[in-house]
Amino acid sequence: MSFPSLTYDPATDRPQEECGVFGVRRVADASVLAAFGLHALQHRGQEACGITSYDREKGRFTTERHLGLVGEHFTEPKRLERLTGDMAIGHVRYSTSGGSSMRNVQPLYADVRGGGIALAHNGNLTNARMLREELVAGGAIFQSTSDSEVILQLAARSKQPDSIERLISAFTQIEGAFALVAMTNDLLIGARDPLGIRPLVMGVLDGATIFASETCALDMIGARYIRDIEPGEVVIVSDEGLETRRYAPARPAKTCAFEYIYFARPDSVIDGISVYEARKRMGIRLAQECPADIDVVVPVPDSGMAAALGFSEELGKPFDLGIIRAHFAGRTFIQPTQAKRDLGVRRKHSANASVLRGKRVLLVDDSIVRGTTSKKIVRMVREAGATEVHFRSACPPITHPDFYGIDMPMREELMAASHEPDKMIEMLECDSLGFLSVEGLYWAVHGEARNPESPQLADHYFTGDYPTRLVDQNRAASSKDEQLSLLVDA
Amino acid sequence: MSFPSLTYDPATDRPQEECGVFGVRRVADASVLAAFGLHALQHRGQEACGITSYDREKGRFTTERHLGLVGEHFTEPKRLERLTGDMAIGHVRYSTSGGSSMRNVQPLYADVRGGGIALAHNGNLTNARMLREELVAGGAIFQSTSDSEVILQLAARSKQPDSIERLISAFTQIEGAFALVAMTNDLLIGARDPLGIRPLVMGVLDGATIFASETCALDMIGARYIRDIEPGEVVIVSDEGLETRRYAPARPAKTCAFEYIYFARPDSVIDGISVYEARKRMGIRLAQECPADIDVVVPVPDSGMAAALGFSEELGKPFDLGIIRAHFAGRTFIQPTQAKRDLGVRRKHSANASVLRGKRVLLVDDSIVRGTTSKKIVRMVREAGATEVHFRSACPPITHPDFYGIDMPMREELMAASHEPDKMIEMLECDSLGFLSVEGLYWAVHGEARNPESPQLADHYFTGDYPTRLVDQNRAASSKDEQLSLLVDA
Amino acid sequence: MSFPSLTYDPATDRPQEECGVFGVRRVADASVLAAFGLHALQHRGQEACGITSYDREKGRFTTERHLGLVGEHFTEPKRLERLTGDMAIGHVRYSTSGGSSMRNVQPLYADVRGGGIALAHNGNLTNARMLREELVAGGAIFQSTSDSEVILQLAARSKQPDSIERLISAFTQIEGAFALVAMTNDLLIGARDPLGIRPLVMGVLDGATIFASETCALDMIGARYIRDIEPGEVVIVSDEGLETRRYAPARPAKTCAFEYIYFARPDSVIDGISVYEARKRMGIRLAQECPADIDVVVPVPDSGMAAALGFSEELGKPFDLGIIRAHFAGRTFIQPTQAKRDLGVRRKHSANASVLRGKRVLLVDDSIVRGTTSKKIVRMVREAGATEVHFRSACPPITHPDFYGIDMPMREELMAASHEPDKMIEMLECDSLGFLSVEGLYWAVHGEARNPESPQLADHYFTGDYPTRLVDQNRAASSKDEQLSLLVDA
Amino acid sequence: MSFPSLTYDPATDRPQEECGVFGVRRVADASVLAAFGLHALQHRGQEACGITSYDREKGRFTTERHLGLVGEHFTEPKRLERLTGDMAIGHVRYSTSGGSSMRNVQPLYADVRGGGIALAHNGNLTNARMLREELVAGGAIFQSTSDSEVILQLAARSKQPDSIERLISAFTQIEGAFALVAMTNDLLIGARDPLGIRPLVMGVLDGATIFASETCALDMIGARYIRDIEPGEVVIVSDEGLETRRYAPARPAKTCAFEYIYFARPDSVIDGISVYEARKRMGIRLAQECPADIDVVVPVPDSGMAAALGFSEELGKPFDLGIIRAHFAGRTFIQPTQAKRDLGVRRKHSANASVLRGKRVLLVDDSIVRGTTSKKIVRMVREAGATEVHFRSACPPITHPDFYGIDMPMREELMAASHEPDKMIEMLECDSLGFLSVEGLYWAVHGEARNPESPQLADHYFTGDYPTRLVDQNRAASSKDEQLSLLVDA
């Protein structure tokens, strides 16, 4: 959703999901429901949030976009009272440590002939830079550096007579990953990229149609799940009901594997598969593939919980909470100058010595990216009295970066991309290390083998097998390095 | 600079100037000088302020735009330290009582092929709405509702190869009033509309060229005045020096009469004429045209000061400060529910009874718009003990609205447009009332008679003689009433 | 720590802990360590936080007190840089839904003859109102309505020559619960109430002494635990080392049972007992006392986790995460007007249907106060597809309020105080309900039977057996109802 | 009102007035009237403002205290709506460049037995430090470092049975200057120091009694002036009406000369003398004492306006506005590093060259303190083209500091205290320099000669003749240098 990623968060050593979207049409309190829905999707982006509503009596779009959490901004009655109307779309955006800018906060908006288009987008386009250059050459003025604006500019330029056709025209030109909701001064639409890399579901509440990145947003507001939007599909909601359009051929979704591994909320169901169950099965399979002679299975909370439960169950060894996670937000603390230990990790995790002392501990986490946090956790667990510390990753070794909206470090920083197994054990200072196999991942998610012709998941992180062309990536280096905008906003 | 004016401020009963601009190229501390320059132009707009700088080493534009006063935002070192580079432009925007939006704060910016354009504009276009509709039909996405953005969109659309030509191409399409400074990633330009309605001057400091709305901004930073930009002229500043271009034929400036009457700072010199002296001469002439048998001449501070001095001198009656003006800012105060008197006027002006008691007082103000404040002042002066209260306006009766960037009430609210002299005396509750004649105005400003073929001032306020076509104004009503944007921003 | 409690939070239906304290003497970065320590104690109070440091070179105390979280305020370098010196104390204060006031934020401070006293207090005094009235009658001006200020006023009034004696003199006059740290312009002290109701521990880091409410604060900064402060003990830290004083006879601590049940962080150790282990044993004993024929044991996260693990282990039924807790902060959301369901509970908890569907579910929570949230959770679990929902409280029925610093609803609102078991099952809409017995609680915490002569815990919540006199509570009603201050601050 | 002054503002080179007070009893909208009244007194203090109201139905005092201007804070309806009740007092506090603290913002408040006392004080006590030490030794805890709190602590300590007697008891112990309003939960009082150094007037509006520092606050709200409070008098307003009490013998007021010279608003009347007229007479007398052969008399605005008018009238030379004052607030701007001229002075004043060019100019200012700003103004006027620049001060040479609430630089920084006339001309770079004589000052204010036995003004600035003992000033140096509080607040 934003160009070259500067936003991988080294404090957690986790790739960062980039955005969640929500839309609802023809219901009282549309913006209040959007606020609840976005709150349920907050894990998909904590940097910024926004809601745009449309009031058909006034013929007005109203927007509120803010840096920070949904619960900080959309709990204020006066904000929601501004957002009148029975149609609304919303967006949450990922968290960055560095400087982010208001101009990239969504929903985006354009006045076009005969109306307006508001748009919220999750995902990353692989030809956005090329399209942007063409649009600028044609006189377009970009306000943001987000590739989502490319979609809006294409729609504005389209010669199609109505807003929906303008958007569909844009969909046929963009490549990459996108789940998006858009709203005109009449209609609500939901659309998913041709491969279905990013998730998008449809539900219903009191007759009103809802689109959301995950089912947990439907559950939050008591809506009923209808189905996932299909790859290459656009669903148009009007007073006449639902109309479905295809701008790309029908095919099964090739959902991003990391949605199952880490991003999605465990209580969500993506393309018919429970995220929680998939994670638990990852742990079960991991126990089969990499068992160990240990006393206790300890999850790295919260992301390793489900896999650790599966692991413990399969191995027949007790599951216990040897690491406590702090639940209070906060920026990075200043380090004391003379402290002998790095206190950073303890800000989020602390060792529960009563569980660890004198034990052979097996830690289960969902993944290992750079390994920096894993190393600190291993050390903390050992200092708390564990006699052995074994580490297990509930996903395969990550060796390749992503270009579809997941923020990862450069390839050379990915631990598994540049180190042999023995070296990794040494780096993490653990007694043994194990990763789920790629086949194990498919077994856990789909219960079937990987189809090498057309893998059922976007699994390039582990295989280098990218599901689409990488247009911008493959262009001349000079073009790639160019800044998207010469302007640095406040 | 903004479309149909909702911003006339009834608390002062004064038309509102709309914006001041400043630009400087190739000097250390460019943004610091811009901050001082804008501070000197603060009287031209108190709603918002912004500075954009260009750093040629980094190849970056940086911008800071804020609601509020220059002295509130650009006194913070960290803001100015962000604004690196030796070239900067800035803008102050007028104050409104109602809702204003960050999206209209200038300087505006666009990335174009091969660079960037930043722009700050003072004035109003008379064909902006028509151009905007054409641009939107062509796929342009407007971020603001300001007509300044029309200039930027036209420049972005231009097929000209370089940014200066793009801007000049835009100037040839727009009509109305504009004094603007713009900056590319190389050049600084200053341009004035074909008739020179809005002022723009050029100065020099340590070899660096400066553009500013008024000479007082040059004085503030110790720069030397060079000359006024001519109507229809574009001055381009490069490393090679100054280049002058014309996009409209040479002709004498037809400067807005209200710059001399009220807007400009008294220590400024516009088109070679001292504003202070012009005002004083308005008072002298007013005394000749409408004398009275009184004891003391009292200015309505601060706008009536110079004219009152001239009046007093000419009439040979003492000048004294019978009205005190409070100098502390503040929003409108809540009125006590049971107070018998309207306290609003006293928030800004209070009567100095020791000067007024028992006297026949003649009040001199620069102008009368709706007359509401004048009436309160007359009443306040009488309550303080004046035996007679005579009122004099140092400009002619205002009977017509403005379309060039001056915020005025609708015609039906203009006191002189809809009332006979006797009725006005009754309304203001004064003992006599007098206005400067149009001929008197010309005598005071230019020392010569009005040329009815081509008046030397934009004097439509008093004559209805508009200096340009009014394209948007004359279009079909339906088009005029349409909202510029369906979006209501926060 | 504050008078009559208005702050029980109905959104979680949990009593509210009131405050955590921290102190450190003679270490570089004293205030940075205090910030980390308070972050570890954040669960004890989220309303406000403060740090006061003493710089012996400058002879100055410096203070920073703020509404909000430690991670919001004490991560800003400029704040910590202000707090110079090698001695610091800090405080976190509980969260309230209603109006709280800056004037009650701690540490408190007084200049006394020859120096200053800064003080941070956790707990509630039972004779504070009476003492306050006496002090006011004697001319004392109270700035806050907190009973902590009573301690400071008593110290200021004391005729003792030095600050430590002044404080000890105050300790002998107050009754109730208090764990406090105080700092003069030389010494640091830690003190615990005569019965040891509130916890306070001592640790060491690089030779510097540290006091903290819980051991988790020591772990956070890598300090070594030394021992718990004893009931009635004052530990004075000077350049000469530690000195211990008693102002009340030695006796075993009678720690508040709710520290073990809910308040303390699970990785803390209080009076030698691991909080996590005590909670797990509560679950084990609960399984023995109230088993059920079910398919899955589900914790109400996070407070029921440890007990649910124990319950599952003892019952031999799987533990699974059937309820997901959202980890993003936020105020109460506006409810949609037409939604048929109360969405409030889902803001914090959501059902994980894949675990619950078609199952007989047993929910374990740490306690039930009013039962309102429990009821919503039962309903949510049932709507997610559970065929049976059984509820277990890992503590005994709560029938009596607290007067020692724990914020609880009035007695008539306590579910177990006013309802028979059958009625409670009906209220919660569950299939069965079970509570841990009082004996079970003692077995879990102390591994021994309750001593009815002198219970080893402050267990009045369940027994009505208050460990101290209730001076203010037993005074004439008129006096009790009087406002503590006539002033309402902003 | 605050201890040894660190707050003289070098940017204006003016002593700083310290505070204005306002009180009103039994009127609807009491706090709204207070807001208007304080707005009229804003020139007496721009650092902070506060209002405390008393609502007799609720039996509650409510307070709002803020850093900043009245117009910034008390124009918000929600603030005034909080301040319910028909009695209110308010305070404005002077502006400082350095760090000020919320804890010193007034009104102050204390709960005492049987009620509350709120207090707002203008002036400085000369024995506050000594009293403070005694009070601290007796156990009092001071929250602020203001000497106003001494009055409140003395009242709280008093053994008198009711609040008015407590306050009067305090008045008999304090020395120095004070004009204060106080409010109990029944009564409003106004009191002035034994010599009447600081002004305080009484008015009436719709039957409600009002106290204010100056008559301009009465005029603002349309109240009628009754009389000045007398030196040593306390006026008590109850439901029964007004009661007057004396705590010191009757005598004529010895008002601070600087109230007439600079502090008070020109439209105020103090002790029966119009401030504006006094200033104009200072100019008349100055013209008699120090005439010059010049072309134009130019005031340094705004403080020199009235005197310059008098001077011009007496000398028979034209008065003109050769210096323009900017009316937009703002902190000190960053200076450009390479600018050859100090731009600071131009932020507030700019030269109006059309008036100055080629002229022999005589500048009139109200006073000269350090001379730094005067020097810059002289230089600016000369650079604008004046051929000669003569400087006149409308008050005598300032040679002694103040201890009654006026913030001045140390004696060694006072230009006239340490330099001979010739040296001063050299310093200011002017062509001639003249000061009003002390006798001239008395003639201008009182129209009679100075009574050397008991001067009719507090004129120590010029004579060193202090009207009271200086208890704190004359104590041992060690005691004087001690900090008032060891605490540095945020």
**Residues for chain C: how many in total?**
490
Residue type, C152: L
Site from B102, B105, B111 to mutate, A interface, most A CB atoms within 10 angstroms: B111
Q: Are residues C43 and C170 in the same domain?
A: yes
Which residues in chain A are contacts of C72 at CB distance < 8 A?
A: 329-331
Q: Are residues A304 and A427 in the same domain?
A: yes
Beta-carbon separation of B338 and D206 below 8 A = yes
> What's the confidence (pLDDT) of residue D96?
44
C470 versus B346: which is more confidently predicted?
A: C470
Whether B364 and B289 have beta carbons less than 8 Å apart is answered as no
Beta-carbon separation of A487 and B109 below 8 A = yes
Residue type, B251: R
Q: How far apart are CA A386 and CA A379, in angstroms?
A: 10
First to last CA, chain A: 20
Q: Are residues D240 and D145 in the same domain?
A: yes
C-alpha count within 13 angstroms, C-beta hemisphere, residue C36: 31
> What's the confidence (pLDDT) of residue B219?
95
Q: Is the confidence at residue D15, as pLDDT, over 70?
A: no
Whether A160 and A169 have beta carbons less than 8 Å apart is answered as yes
Q: Are residues B192 and B320 in the same domain?
A: no
State how far the alpha carbon of A95 is from the alpha carbons of A34, A49, A328, D253, D368, in Å: 20, 11, 16, 66, 57
- Catalytic (active-site) positions of D: 19
Note down the domain range covering B427: 274-325+344-463
C336 versus B159: which is more confidently predicted?
A: B159
> What's the confidence (pLDDT) of residue A195?
97
Give the 3-state DSSP-derived string for C102-163, with helices as H, strands as E and coil as C: HHHCCCEEEEECCEEEEEEEECCECCHHHHHHHHHHCCCCCCCCECHHHHHHHHHHCCCCCH
* ipTM rounded to 2 decimals: 0.92
Percent helix, strand and coil across chain A, each to the nearest 5: 30, 25, 45
Q: What is the mean pLDDT of chain C?
A: 91
Q: Is the confidence at residue A2, as pLDDT, over 60?
A: no
> What's the confidence (pLDDT) of residue B385?
97
C19 catalytically annotated: yes
User: Nearest Cα to C414, choosing from C406, C378, C306?
Assistant: C406
Which of A5-19, B266-280, D44-58, D326-340 has the lowest average pLDDT?
Answer: A5-19
Which residues in chain C are contacts of D60 at CB distance < 8 A?
A: 486-488
Q: What is the pLDDT of residues D365-410, one digit of tens each?
A: 999 999 999 999 999 999 999 999 999 999 999 999 999 988 778 8
Q: Is the confidence at residue B479, as pLDDT, over 80?
A: no
Q: Are residues C289 and C193 in the same domain?
A: no
Query: How large a percentage of chain B has pLDDT more than 90?
Result: 79
Quick one: pLDDT band at residue B1, thresholds 50, 70, 90? very low
> What's the confidence (pLDDT) of residue B18?
76
User: Nearest Cα to C196, choosing from C156, C224, C234?
Assistant: C234
SS3 A17: coil
Tokens representing D44 are 């007496």
Q: What is the pLDDT of residues B133-186, one digit of tens each?
A: 999 999 999 998 888 999 999 999 999 989 999 999 999 999 999 999 999 999
> What's the confidence (pLDDT) of residue D5?
31
CA distance D238 to chain C (A): 20
Q: How far apart are CA D308 and CA D280, in angstroms?
A: 7
CA D169 to chain centroid: 26
CB neighbours of residue A314 within 10 Å: 18
Q: What is the pLDDT of residues C350-361, one digit of tens each?
A: 999 999 999 999
Q: How far apart are CA A481 and CA A485, in angstroms?
A: 12
> What's the confidence (pLDDT) of residue C99?
41
Q: Is the confidence at residue A341, as pLDDT, over 90?
A: no
Q: Is the confidence at residue D477, as pLDDT, over 70?
A: no
Whether C276 and C216 have beta carbons less than 8 Å apart is answered as no
Question: The sheet that has B241-246: what strands, in order across it?
Answer: B108-112, B115-122, B179-184, B188-192, B233-238, B241-246
Q: How far apart are CA B99 and CA C402, in angstroms?
A: 51
Q: How far apart are CA A247 and CA A255, in angstroms?
A: 18
Give the closest of C80, C269, C330 to A71, CB-based: C330
> How many distinct helices (H) and strands (E) make up chain C?
18, 24
Query: How large a percentage of chain D has pLDDT more than 70?
Result: 91
The H or E element containing residue A380 is helix A372-383
B7 versus B184: which is more confidently predicted?
A: B184
Q: Are residues B321 and B230 in the same domain?
A: no
CA distance A354 to chain C (A): 7
Residue type, D407: D
Q: How far apart are CA C351 and CA C344, in angstroms?
A: 13
Query: How large a percentage of chain C has pLDDT more than 70?
Result: 91
Whether A181 and A192 have beta carbons less than 8 Å apart is answered as no
Whether C388 and C294 have beta carbons less than 8 Å apart is answered as yes
> What's the confidence (pLDDT) of residue A141?
97
Which of A101-110, A266-275, C46-55 has the lowest average pLDDT?
Answer: A101-110
Q: How far apart are CA D432 and CA B344, in angstroms?
A: 44
In sequence order, what E strands does D26-133 have? 48-55, 60-67, 87-93, 108-112, 115-122
Q: What is the pLDDT of residues C384-426, one digit of tens each?
A: 999 999 999 999 999 999 989 887 788 889 999 999 999 999 9
> What's the confidence (pLDDT) of residue C346?
75
What residues of chain B have any CB closer than 8 angstroms to a CB in chain A?
52, 59-65, 82, 109-113, 115-116, 136-137, 139-143, 152-153, 156-158, 185, 483-490
- Chain position carrying tokens 């350095």: D98
C437 versus A10: which is more confidently predicted?
A: C437
Q: Is the confidence at residue B490, as pLDDT, over 70?
A: no
CB neighbours of residue D331 within 10 Å: 14
Q: How far apart are CA B275 and CA D194, in angstroms?
A: 52
Beta-carbon separation of C46 and A276 below 8 A = no
Question: Average pLDDT in the D279-288 region?
Answer: 98
Domain count, chain C: 2
First to last CA, chain D: 20
> What's the confidence (pLDDT) of residue B174?
97
User: Which of A254, A286, A316 lies at the terminal end of a domain, its last residue?
Assistant: A254
Question: Average pLDDT in the A121-139 region?
Answer: 95
> What's the confidence (pLDDT) of residue B409?
81
> What's the confidence (pLDDT) of residue B242?
97
> What's the confidence (pLDDT) of residue B94?
81
Give the 3-state DSSP-derived string for B95-156, with helices as H, strands as E and coil as C: CCCCCCCHHHCCCEEEEECCEEEEEEEECCECCHHHHHHHHHHCCCCCCCCECHHHHHHHHH
> What's the confidence (pLDDT) of residue D131?
96
Q: How far apart are CA A82 and CA A68, in angstroms?
A: 19
Q: How far apart are CA B251 and CA D430, in angstroms?
A: 45
CA distance A152 to chain B (A): 9
User: Nearest Cα to A435, choosing from A466, A396, A405, A470?
Assistant: A396
Give the closest of C112, C136, C486 to D60, CB-based: C486
Site from C82, C487, C489 to mutate, D interface, most D CB atoms within 10 angstroms: C487
Residue B473 placed within a domain:
no
Residue D173 placed within a domain:
yes
Q: What is the pLDDT of residues D30-53, one digit of tens each?
A: 999 999 999 999 999 988 999 999
Residue A11 placed within a domain:
no
Q: Is the confidence at residue A9, as pLDDT, over 50?
A: no
SS3 A209: strand
Query: How large a percentage of chain D has pLDDT more than 90?
Result: 79
Q: Are residues A231 and A283 in the same domain?
A: no
Question: The sheet that has D87-93: what strands, in order across it?
Answer: C487-488, D60-67, D48-55, D87-93, D20-25, D208-212, D201-205, D224-228
Residue C383 placed within a domain:
yes
The H or E element containing residue C23 is strand C20-25
What torsion do the CA atoms of B141, B143, B146, B147 make, to the nearest 10 degrees? -20
Chain A, nearest residue to B184 by Cα:
A486
CA distance D432 to chain C (A): 48
- Chain position carrying tokens 């030109």: A173
> What's the confidence (pLDDT) of residue D14?
57
User: Nearest Cα to A306, choosing from A248, A366, A367, A358?
Assistant: A366
Q: What is the pLDDT of residues A45-86, one digit of tens each?
A: 988 999 999 999 999 999 999 998 999 899 989 999 999 999
Instruction: Count Cβ neighbours within 10 Å for each residue of D44-66 and write b for 16 or more, e otherwise.
Output: bbbbbbbbbbbbeeeebbbbbbb
User: Nearest Cα to C94, choosing from C114, C131, C121?
Assistant: C121
Whether A465 and A451 have beta carbons less than 8 Å apart is answered as no
| A460: CB partners within 8 A, 6+ apart | A400, A402, A466, A467
The enclosing domain of D111 has a CATH number of 3.60.20.10
Beta-carbon separation of B111 and A486 below 8 A = yes
Q: Are residues C155 and C280 in the same domain?
A: no
> What's the confidence (pLDDT) of residue A101?
73
D414 versus B408: which is more confidently predicted?
A: D414
Q: Are residues A428 and A370 in the same domain?
A: yes
Q: Is the confidence at residue B326, as pLDDT, over 50?
A: yes
Q: Are residues B235 and B282 in the same domain?
A: no
Residue C2 placed within a domain:
no
Q: What is the pLDDT of residues C428-437, one digit of tens each?
A: 999 999 999 9
Residue A485 placed within a domain:
no
Q: Is the confidence at residue A3, as pLDDT, over 60?
A: no
Beta-carbon separation of A486 and B60 below 8 A = yes
Q: How far apart are CA B157 and CA B155, in angstroms?
A: 5
SS3 A155: helix
Beta-carbon separation of C221 and A339 below 8 A = yes
The enclosing domain of A436 has a CATH number of 3.40.50.2020
For chain D, which chains pass the contact test of at least 3 CB pairs under 8 Å?
Answer: B, C
Q: Are residues C67 and C117 in the same domain?
A: yes
Q: Are residues B39 and B107 in the same domain?
A: yes
> What's the confidence (pLDDT) of residue C338?
58
User: Nearest Cα to B150, choosing from B136, B160, B165?
Assistant: B136
Residue A426 placed within a domain:
yes
Q: How far apart are CA A453 and CA C93, in angstroms?
A: 60
Quick one: pLDDT band at residue C7, thresholds 50, 70, 90? very low
Q: What is the mean pLDDT of chain B?
A: 91
Q: What is the pLDDT of residues D220-273, one digit of tens each?
A: 999 999 999 999 999 999 999 999 999 999 999 999 999 999 999 999 999 999
Q: How far apart are CA D402 and CA D369, in angstroms?
A: 12
Q: How far apart are CA D118 and CA D50, in angstroms?
A: 11
> What's the confidence (pLDDT) of residue A18?
77
Residue B330 placed within a domain:
no
Question: Average pLDDT in the A414-440 region?
Answer: 97
Which of A297-311, B4-18, B113-127, C231-245 has the lowest average pLDDT?
Answer: B4-18
Q: How far apart are CA C120 and CA C51, in angstroms?
A: 9
∠ CA D403-D406-D407, nearest 5°, is 100
> What's the confidence (pLDDT) of residue C1?
32
- Chain position carrying tokens 């006297």: B359
Beta-carbon separation of D42 and B351 below 8 A = no
Q: How far apart are CA A71 and CA B170, in angstroms?
A: 45
> What's the confidence (pLDDT) of residue A232?
97
Give the closest of D265, D274, D351 to B267, CB-based: D351
> What's the confidence (pLDDT) of residue A60?
94
Question: Average pLDDT in the D71-100 region?
Answer: 84
H helices of D146-249, in order, are: 148-157, 163-171, 215-221
Which residues in chain A are contacts of C46 at CB distance < 8 A?
A: 328
> What's the confidence (pLDDT) of residue B467?
96
